[in-house]
């Protein structure tokens, strides 16, 4: 019986993948890979597996979502097991929910394998605990990519006083910061942006909200990056936490 999995590959560091993810990957005949996925995770796929790269990063050439689902359907219906590998967790801003709906609509069961989402892993990679109780009663995962009707209600989020963790926020960072300040968030609120978290090329910027967008521009930070806004960002370490690949390097 062919199977279909939606697998979270985690934020980048191969050792942050789950056992379940590596085991599912090892059974797949076909692996469809998003471009945020670290190619090193393919070491867990069978050597004879067909690997298809189906990126869909904002602003970059991409394989349309409908085409990805069509490919999954085609393989499953032909009796091949398909692993769909997505960055982080498949159900956090990855359109995994849409893929699951489309597969269900076609009568195909898909198994969900969770991954560690970047919104937790990236802050942790520089020592930020997103719900430290001295600073926040909770954390909000929010997209910075929204436009028009999809724009988050930033003023309402400011009023919650919770940690804001923004995905896909780099291109509109200037606007987002301006909106938060206009909604009454203090200009001295600690902020962090972490690019390529848990990968060897990881970089980050720490600044207060008032100077944050300029500091990020000055440092030349780009996507993929997670933005953390709130008191917990003051707990960031000067030096990034060594990521788990260091285990191999010893
Ligand atoms: N499903 C993914 C998120 C997909 S949306 C997850 O759970 O992590 C893509 C966004 O995720 C990027 O724009 C960026 O904000 C964030 N992201 C993914 N991997 C990242 C990484 N290694 N470092 C920093 N941000 C990352």
Ligand 1 lined by 224 (C-beta under 6 Å): yes
CB atoms within 10 A of CB 124: 18
Q: What are 13-56's pLDDT values in tens digits?
A: 999 999 999 999 999 999 999 988 999 999 999 999 999 998 75
Give the pLDDT score at 65. 76
175 is catalytic: no
Edge-to-edge strand list for the sheet holding 139-143: 139-143, 163-167, 225-229, 190-195, 203-208
Q: What are 155-205's pLDDT values in tens digits?
A: 999 999 999 999 999 999 999 999 999 999 999 999 999 999 999 999 999
How far is residue 35's CA from residue 23's CA, in Å, rounded to a whole number? Answer: 21
Single out the residue of 173, 207, 179 nearest to residue 192, CA to CA: 207
Ligand 1 lined by 96 (C-beta under 6 Å): no
How far is residue 24's CA from residue 18's CA, in Å, rounded to a whole number? Answer: 10
248 is catalytic: no
96-105 helix and 65-77 helix, angle to the nearest 10 degrees: 50
In the chain, ranges of CATH 3.30.950.10 domains: 118-242
Give the pLDDT score at 149. 65
How far is residue 227's CA from residue 174's CA, in Å, rounded to a whole number? Answer: 12
- Centre of ligand 1 from the C-alpha of residue 1, in Å: 33
* E-assigned strand segments in 22-91: 30-33, 50-53, 82-86
2 Cβ neighbours under 8 A, 6+ residues apart:
29, 75, 76, 78, 79, 80, 81, 82
Q: Which of 13, 17, 29, 34 is catalytic?
A: 34
Best residue among 87, 89, 150, 203 to mutate for probing ligand 1's pocket (most ligand atoms within 8 Å of CB) is 87
- Centre of ligand 1 from the C-alpha of residue 79, in Å: 32
The protein residue whose alpha carbon is closest to atom 15 in ligand 1 is: 167
How far is residue 79's CA from residue 1's CA, in Å, rounded to a whole number? Answer: 7
Which contiguous run of DSSP H or E holds residue 65?
helix 65-77
Ligand 1 lined by 168 (C-beta under 6 Å): yes
| Lookup result for tokens 């394998």 | 113
245 pLDDT band, cuts 50/70/90, is: very low
In the chain, ranges of CATH 3.40.1010.10 domains: 4-113
Instruction: Classify domain 4-113 at the CATH topology level.
Output: Cobalt-precorrin-4 Transmethylase; domain 1 (3.40.1010)
Note the residue count of the chain: 250
Instruction: Classify domain 118-242 at the CATH topology level.
Output: 3.30.950
Q: What are 65-113's pLDDT values in tens digits?
A: 788 889 999 999 999 999 999 999 999 998 899 999 999 999 999 999 9
Question: Is this model's pTM higher than 0.95 or not?
Answer: no
- Centre of ligand 1 from the C-alpha of residue 166, in Å: 9
48 is catalytic: no
Best residue among 8, 10, 38, 118 to mutate for probing ligand 1's pocket (most ligand atoms within 8 Å of CB) is 118
Average pLDDT, the chain: 91
Ligand 1 lined by 170 (C-beta under 6 Å): no
Edge-to-edge strand list for the sheet holding 30-33: 50-53, 30-33, 82-86, 4-8, 111-113
- Centre of ligand 1 from the C-alpha of residue 215, in Å: 21
71 versus 58: the higher-pLDDT residue is 71
For 139, the token pair is 């954390």
């Amino acid at each position: 019986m062919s199977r279909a999995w939606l697998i979270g590959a985690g934020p980048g560091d191969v050792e942050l993948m789950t056992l379940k993810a590596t085991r599912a990957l090892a059974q797949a005949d076909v692996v469809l890979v998003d471009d945020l996925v670290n190619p090193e995770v393919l070491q867990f796929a069978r050597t004879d597996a067909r690997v298809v790269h189906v990126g869909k990063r904002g602003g970059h050439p991409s394989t349309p979502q409908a085409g990805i689902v069509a490919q999954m359907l085609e393989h499953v219906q032909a009796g091949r097991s398909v692993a769909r590998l997505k960055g982080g967790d498949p159900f956090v801003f990855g359109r995994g929910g849409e893929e699951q709906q489309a597969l269900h609509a076609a009568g195909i069961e898909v198994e969900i394998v969770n991954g560690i989402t970047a919104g937790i892993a990236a802050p942790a990679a520089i020592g930020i605990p997103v719900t430290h109780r001295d600073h926040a009663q909770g954390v909000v995962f929010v997209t910075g990519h929204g436009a028009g009707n999809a724009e988050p209600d930033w003023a309402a989020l400011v009023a919650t006083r919770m940690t804001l963790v923004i995905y896909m926020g780099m291109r509109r960072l200037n606007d987002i910061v301006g909106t938060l300040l206009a909604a009454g968030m203090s200009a001295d609120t600690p902020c962090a942006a972490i690019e390529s978290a848990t990968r060897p090329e990881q970089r980050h910027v720490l600044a207060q909200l008032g100077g944050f967008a300029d500091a990020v521009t000055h440092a030349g930070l780009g996507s993929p990056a997670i933005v953390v806004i709130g008191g917990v960002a003051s707990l960031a370490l000067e030096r990034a936490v060594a990521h788990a690949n260091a285990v191999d390097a010893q």
